[in-house]
Amino acid sequence: MKVLVTAKRVVDYNVNVRVLNDHTGVDLNNVKMSVNPFDEIAIEEAVRLKEAGKVEEVIVASVGPKTAAEQIRTALALGADRGILIETDEDVQPLGIAKLLRAVVEKESPSLVITGKQAIDGDNGQTGQMLAALLGWGQATYANELELGDSSATVSREIDGGLETLEVKLPAVITTDLRLNEPRYASLPNIMKAKKKPMDTYTPDDLGVDATPRVKTIKVEPPPERQAGIIVESVDELISKLKNEAKVI
C-alpha cells in the first residue's frame, strides 16, 4: 500500500508573526520556517503505519517555492521514502492546492492520503475535503485515532457530543487532529540519509493545473491591542462598571 502525505511550509509556530509596513502580508524575511504542525502529525502517522507493516511506501508532497524542499527533506528525515515538490511562487489557495494534489494522486495512485486538518497560516481547513471531493473518494476528517485495514480505514474523532467512529473504504482522504499522535524528532543519521532520498520537482504547468489564486488579499492588519484589565473592590463595583461603562448588562 502506498500513502501520500503533505508537508506545507509555514512560519514556525514559535515565531511572533509581524505584519509588513505596507500591510500587504506577513514579514517572512529571516523568519524560521517549518513543516505545518498538523502535517507533521500526518507524516508521523504514515511512518507508524509503515513501521507496523501496513504500508509499503510513504510519499510526501509540498506545494510552494523552491525553499519548500527543506520541509520535504524534514519529512524524509522523519521516515518518508521520497518527496514531490510542486514548485510555484504563487500564494496557492486551498482549491489550487487540492487540484495539484489530485494530479499527484493520479500520477502516483496511492491508496490513502493523509493531510493535516488545517495549516497554521491560513487556518482554512479546506484542502483535505476539497481533495476528496475532486477525487470522488471517501473522507474522514479531524482523526484522533486511525486503524488501517486491507480495504478500509476506521477513524475516531471528537464531536460536540463525544466521540464518533467512521469507517471509510479505501482509497480515502484522512485529515489529522492534534491527539492522533506525537511526532518524533529526526535523528542526525536520518537527517543525513534524507539528503540521498529521491525528490521529484514539478510545476503546476507540468501537471496541467491552473493554480491561479481566486481570492485577493486586500489588506493585512495585526489584531487590535487589548486594553489592560482592572481590579475591582466589590461585586457592586463590578456590576456598576459592566452596566455603566462596558454596557453589557
pLDDT score of 10 more than 90: yes
- Mean local confidence (pLDDT), 207-221: 90
- Supply the pLDDT for residue 238: 92
176 CB contacts (<8 Å, ≥6 apart)?
A: 38, 41, 42, 45, 114, 115, 116, 117, 142, 143
Determine contact, residues 118/124, Cβ cutoff 8 Å. Answer: yes
Count of Cβ atoms closer than 10 Å to residue 65 Cβ: 14
For the packed helices 69-78 and 37-51, what is the interaxial angle rounded to 10 degrees?
40
Q: What is the chain's mean pLDDT, rounded? A: 94
The per-residue pLDDT for range 140-181, each reduced to its tens digit, is 999 999 999 989 999 999 998 899 999 999 999 999 999 999
CATH 1.10.540.10 assigned to domain 2-244? The reply is no
- Supply the pLDDT for residue 194: 94
Q: Could you tell me the sign of the dihedral formed by the alpha carbons of 172, 140, 150, 199, in that order?
A: positive
pLDDT band for position 25 (50/70/90)?
confident
- Supply the pLDDT for residue 164: 95
- Supply the pLDDT for residue 82: 96
In 15-81, at which residue ranges do the beta strands (DSSP E only) sit? 33-35, 57-64
- Supply the pLDDT for residue 119: 94
Domain borders along the chain are 2-244
Identify the burial level of 244 via C-beta atoms within 10 angstroms of its C-beta, where 0-12 means exposed, 13-18 middle and 19 or more buried.
exposed
- Which pTM does this prediction carry? 0.87
- Mean local confidence (pLDDT), 220-247: 89
138 CB contacts (<8 Å, ≥6 apart)?
A: 132, 168, 169, 172, 173
Cell of 140: 474522514
- Mean local confidence (pLDDT), 201-212: 94
Beta bridge partners of 199: 83
pLDDT band for position 84 (50/70/90)?
very high
Determine contact, residues 174/114, Cβ cutoff 8 Å. Answer: yes
pLDDT score of 191 more than 90: yes
pLDDT score of 39 more than 90: yes
The per-residue pLDDT for range 96-147, each reduced to its tens digit, is 999 999 999 999 999 999 999 999 998 999 999 999 999 999 999 999 999 9
- Supply the pLDDT for residue 209: 94
**How far is C-alpha 118 from the chain's CA centre?**
5
Give, in order, the Cα–Cα distances in Å from 145 to each of 101, 128, 192: 24, 17, 31
119 CB contacts (<8 Å, ≥6 apart)?
A: 8, 10, 36, 38, 39, 127
- Supply the pLDDT for residue 224: 86
- Mean local confidence (pLDDT), 64-89: 96
- Supply the pLDDT for residue 41: 97
pLDDT band for position 229 (50/70/90)?
confident
* Gyration radius from the chain CA atoms: 21
